[in-house]
A and B are shown apart, each in its own frame.
Chain A
Amino acid sequence: MIAQTVISMLLIGVVAYAASERRRSPVVAWLSIIAAAAGLYFTWTPDHATQVAMWAGVGRGVDLILYIWVCISLIVLLNLHLKLRSQMELVTVMARTIALAEARRRLSENAMPPQGPPQRVSSGRRALGRTGNPMLRAGKERL
Chain B
Amino acid sequence: MSMILNNAAVHCQMAQPYERSPARVWVVIAAYNEATVIGRIINEVKRRGYTVAVVDDGSSDHTAEASAAAHVVVRHPINLGQGAALQTGIDFALERGADVIVTFDADGQHRTGDIEKLIRAIRSGDVDFALGSRFLGCSEGMPVSRRVLLKAATLFTQLTTGLRISDTHNGLRAMTPRGARVVRLRQNRMAHASEMLSQIAASSLGYIEVPVTIEYSAYSLAKGQTVGDALMILLDLFARRLYR
Contact = CB atoms under 8 A, between A and B. Distances in A.
A86 B92 contact: no
B91 A103 contact: no
Contacts of A141: 71
B72 A24 contact: no
B74 interface: yes
Nearest to A103: B74
B91 A86 contact: no
B244 interface: yes
A128 interface: no
Interface stretch (A54-62, A64-72, A89-97): A89-97
Contacts, number: 84
B92 A100 contact: yes
Interface stretch (A1-9, A36-44, A129-137): A129-137
A85 B76 contact: no
B51 interface: yes
Contact of B188 (A88, A103, A139): A88
Given A81-B239, A99-B76, A103-B73, A134 B67 contact: yes
B88 A99 contact: yes
Q: How large is the interface on A (under 10, 10 to 19, 20 to 34, 35 or more residues)?
A: 20 to 34
A82 B65 contact: no
B218 to A, nearest CB: 27
Contact of A82 (B51, B74, B239): B239
B165 interface: no
A19 to B, nearest CB: 16
Contacts of A103: 72-75, 92
Given A88-B188, A134-B67, A143-B71, A100 B91 contact: yes
Interface string A19-31: 0000111111000
Contacts of A99: 55, 74-77, 88
- Judged by DSSP, the binding face of A is helix
A27 B239 CA distance: 11
B71 A96 contact: no
Nearest to A83: B243
Contacts of A86: 243
Interface string B11-26: 0000000000001000
A63 interface: no
Contact of A85 (B64, B67, B87, B243): B243
B75 A102 contact: yes
Contact of A107 (B55, B72, B186): B72
28 contacts: A25-B243, A27-B242, A28-B242, A78-B242, A81-B239, A82-B242, A82-B243, A91-B78, A95-B77, A95-B78, A95-B80, A96-B80, A96-B88, A99-B74, A99-B75, A99-B88, A100-B92, A103-B72, A103-B74, A107-B72, A134-B64, A135-B64, A137-B68, A138-B70, A139-B72, A143-B23, A143-B71, A143-B72
Given A86-B243, A135-B75, 14 more contacts: A24-B243, A24-B244, A25-B243, A78-B242, A85-B240, A92-B80, A95-B76, A96-B80, A96-B88, A103-B72, A138-B69, A138-B72, A141-B71, A143-B51
Interface of B: 23, 51, 55, 64-65, 67-78, 80, 84, 87-88, 91-92, 95-96, 186, 188, 239-244
Interface of A: 23-28, 78, 81-82, 85-86, 88-89, 91-92, 95-96, 98-100, 102-103, 107, 132, 134-135, 137-139, 141, 143
